[in-house]
Amino acid sequence: MGTSELNLQALADYITAAFAEEDAVLRAARARMQQSGLPPINVSPSEGKLLQVLARLIGAQRILEIGTLGGYSAIWLARALPPEGKLVTLEIDCHHAEVARENLAQAGLGHKVEVRLGRAAETLRHMHAQGEPPFDLIFIDADKESYPEYFELCLPLLRRGGLLLADNALSPVMRDPQRTGGVARYNALAAARADLASIIVPMLRGEDRVDGLILSLKL
Ligand code: SAH
Ligand code: DHB
Ligand code: MG
C-alpha cells in the first residue's frame, strides 16, 4: 500500500479536529504571523497539544523554549502552566520577538512569558553563569545546525525528571542519508546517553509530510 492510500492528511485532520482544535486566540496568532511576514514554520496544532499534554504530565512550572517565532508554540506551552508558572523563550530576530510579544499579550499570557532576544547559545551560557534555576521542560526548535550545542547547553539547565524536547527530529534526518546534519547528530547524542530515556515520536504535518518530536526524559 502506497503512502497516498494511507491518506496521512485525513489522519492528521482527524487528530486535529478531535483533540487539537485551535481557538480564536491561536487562529489570530497565526493570522498576525502571516500579516507580519513570518514563515509558517510553527508547530502544528496537534504537536502544540502534545507539548501541552507533556508539560501537564510532569507538572511543569518552569519551561524554556529555544526558537520563539511568533509565539505560537509558546501559547500552547504556557497554557499548561499553573498560575505562578513561567515560560522563557529565546529568539534571535527582533521582528519575530515583537510579533510574539503581541501574540502573547493578546493571549493573556504576557505576565507568564518572557521573550529574551539574542543568540540562544549566548543566552544559555549567560543563564549558566547567572545560576538560572532549573527548568522542568525545555523545547528546542531553532536553527538546526546548533542542535548539538543546544543539547549540551540545555541538559545542565534541566531538573532530574524533566523533559528535553526537540522539533524536526525526522525531516532533515531523512533528507540526509549520511546523517551528518545538526538534527541527526542531536538524535545520536540523545540515543547514546544512559542518563536519558529517549524516543522520537513521528508527527503528521499535513500534505502527507511526516516529521518528528524527540523526547528525552532526564533520569
Ligand atoms: N517554536 C516556534 C517556531 C520556531 S521557528 C513555533 O512553533 O511557533 C525557529 C525560530 O528560531 C525562528 O524565529 C528563528 O528566528 C529562531 N532562531 C534561529 N536561530 C536562532 C538562534 N541562534 N538563537 C535564537 N533563535 C534563533
Ligand atoms: C521548517 C519547519 C520547522 O518546524 C522548523 O522548526 C524550521 C523549518 C520548515 O518546514 O522549513
Ligand atoms: Mg520546528
The 3-state DSSP class for residue 66 equals strand
Number of domains in the chain: 1
CATH number of the domain to which 74 belongs? 3.40.50.150
How much is the pTM?
A: 0.97
Grid cell listed for 201 = 515520536
pLDDT in tens, 174-209: 777 788 899 999 999 999 999 999 999 999 987 778
Question: Grid coordinates representing 76?
Answer: 500552547
Number of the ligand closest to the Cα of 67: 1
Instruction: Determine whether the shortest distance from the Cβ of 90 to ligand 1 is under 6 A.
Output: yes
The lowest-confidence range among 3-7, 10-14, 151-155 is 3-7
Query: Which domain, by its residues, includes 152?
Result: 3-218
* Amino acid, res. 219: L
Q: Parallel, antiparallel, or unpaired for β 86-91 and 158-167?
A: unpaired
Confidence of residue 214 (pLDDT cuts 50, 70, 90): very high
Residues ≥6 apart with Cβ < 8 Å to 117: 91, 92, 94, 97
45 and 22 in contact (C-beta within 8 Å)? Answer: yes
CB of residue 144 inside a 6 A radius of ligand 1: no
Ligand 2: distance of its center to the CA of 45 in Å?
14
